[in-house]
A and B are shown apart, each in its own frame.
Chain A
Amino acid sequence: MPTIVRKTHEQKGAEAEVESFEKRLGPFVVAAEKTRMAMVFSDAKEPNSPIIFANDSFLSLTGYDRKEVLGQNFDFLMVDRADAEALARIAGEFEGRLDGGSEVLYRRKDGSEFWAAIFISPVHDENGDVVQYFASFVDLTKHKEEKAHSQMLIEELNHRVKNTLATVQSVVWQALQANSDPILIKESIESRLFALSRSHDLLTREKWGSAGLLDVLLDVLKPFEVGNGRAERIVIKGDNVRFPPQAALALGIAFNELATNAVKYGSLSNGVGSILIESKIEQTPAGGRLMLQWQEKGGPPVTLPSHIGFGSRVIEHGLAHALQGSAHLDYRPGGLVCTMNIPIPRVKQDG
């Protein structure tokens, strides 16, 4: 903090100068006082150019009283008065060598810091001698915050793109492991990428904060509901429990596998079968748990699959792991039943 000296002889002199300054320039001084740009005048004839005028905006920007500012050296607000680079930039401003304004870190009276661009213009008298410096300050706080925010968004986006590429890599890798028929490989890659894409759309609408279980379900099932009056054959009951992005993506992939299976072999493969997706919340000492059941009926007779495919691995292994819960597929004769028991995550829930 700068030390504020008692009114010295010099300061009284400076104040007298301001008065004459106000008398001479009348309306311009009023304009300078009232403009929303923070500005000061300093006396170029005195050593260290003491400030002889500071407008209201400057005072509200810095938090100082006018009498604390007048008579001060020009750089008294600088956070680091030994910052040679900043001083050189300011000197450049004084000498008119720079025209873009210099960014300097300043400190308010309350100790808080702010970045400001400083623009300095010399004021000449009739003989061409510099008599005053006129300096205006543009508060860059908002600008700096926005810059930091957009930098953060770029990094976040980059992270997401790289993770998504790794996810796509996994989808391709698994499709190639599971099938040798190019048509099946193509189908399985497309179906999973579309499911991922829909979950991404949902998360984007939710600003990547979290997504609701019912919204994930509705988004994933939408393409499967086309034709055959399937929409009426799918009933969803339960709360829209919110899940963080990674968990929502995992759920989307799992439901896509279930729906794909239902359309190919299950209750959506004929004209009459149906699916009931029902979930309820159970309170336990360790927190709430979501008990979800995907229950198919009315489809062709169920046969146990001959091998463990990607879908069952995703649900019984991947999903259970990603959601720290359990998930089981039960190939009952009357229809496939998938049961999930997952802890309700600690994200902001609706209501």
Chain B
Amino acid sequence: MDKLLSGRRILVVEDEMLVLMMIEGILDSLGCKSVATAATVDQAVTLIEGQPFDVAMLDVNLNGTKSYPVADALTARGVPFFFSTGNTGPMADGYADRAVLRKPFMSADVATMLTELLPAN
């Protein structure tokens, strides 16, 4: 599983500084060297438009703004992704089918969910 993640280009969209740093740490320990991060919708969309990603992890609430435009940009480019959220309710219409990682989360679940979304080589 660790092997599968190394060498993959991963986008992490998260506005909580410490949570983001932990996710980066988890990914680093899994051998992911190519991790791009964004804290806002604009930042994330700019990144998605500028470079290819293999998989993404997307916080639903970015400083009070819903990140659905980022989800749409990822979908439009066929980038698999899952949501992370501190909410317990259902996702908005149109996004209910996506995998969701609820905060706080197990380190191992981050790896599992990313791996499951990646096409097997």
Contacts and interface: CB of A to CB of B under 8 A. Distances in A.
Given A155-B89, A158-B87, A159-B61, A166 B16 contact: yes
Given A246-B63, A253-B17, A322-B17, A165 B22 contact: no
Nearest to B28: A177
Contacts of B22: 166, 169-170, 173-174
Contacts of A253: 17-18
B39 interface: yes
Contacts of B107: 173
Interface stretch (A53-61, A114-122, A312-320, A330-338): A312-320
A268 B19 CA distance: 30
B86 A321 contact: no
A318 B63 contact: no
Interface residues of B, number: 26
Contacts of B6: none
B99 to A, nearest CB: 17
Interface string B15-59: 111111110010000000000010110010000000000000000
Contacts, number: 86
B105 interface: yes
A171 B16 contact: no
Contacts of A322: 15-17, 20, 39
Contacts of B21: 170, 174, 313-314, 317-318
Contacts of B104: 162, 165-166, 168-169
B102 to A, nearest CB: 7
Contacts of B103: 162-163, 165-166
A167 B25 CA distance: 14
Nearest to A250: B17
Contact of B25 (A163, A174, A314): A174
Contacts of A317: 21
A324 interface: yes
A135 B39 CA distance: 56
A112 to B, nearest CB: 26
A243 to B, nearest CB: 10
B88 interface: yes
Interface string B76-120: 000000000111110000000000001111010000000000000
A159 B86 contact: yes
A159 B15 contact: no
Contacts of A244: 63-64
Given A250-B17, A324-B43, A162 B63 contact: no
A170 B17 CA distance: 10
A249 interface: yes
Contacts of B25: 173-174, 177
A115 B63 CA distance: 34
A159 B102 CA distance: 10
B2 to A, nearest CB: 17
B18 to A, nearest CB: 4
A160 interface: yes
A37 to B, nearest CB: 37
A155 B21 CA distance: 26
A173 B111 CA distance: 16
Among B16, B17, B40, find the residue whose CB has the most chain A CB atoms closer than 10 A.
Answer: B17
Interface of B: 15-22, 25, 37, 39-40, 43, 61, 63-64, 85-89, 102-105, 107
17 contacts: A159-B61, A162-B85, A162-B87, A162-B104, A166-B105, A174-B21, A174-B22, A244-B64, A246-B17, A246-B63, A318-B20, A321-B20, A321-B37, A321-B39, A322-B16, A322-B17, A324-B39
Interface of A: 155, 158-163, 165-171, 173-174, 177, 244-247, 249-250, 253, 313-314, 317-319, 321-322, 324
Top 10 A-B residue pairs of the complex, sorted by shortest distance between their CB atoms? A162-B86, A170-B22, A322-B17, A170-B18, A250-B17, A166-B103, A166-B104, A163-B86, A165-B104, A318-B17
Given A162-B87, A321-B20, A324-B43, 15 more contacts: A162-B88, A162-B103, A166-B19, A166-B86, A166-B103, A167-B18, A244-B63, A245-B63, A246-B63, A249-B16, A314-B17, A318-B17, A321-B17, A321-B39, A322-B17
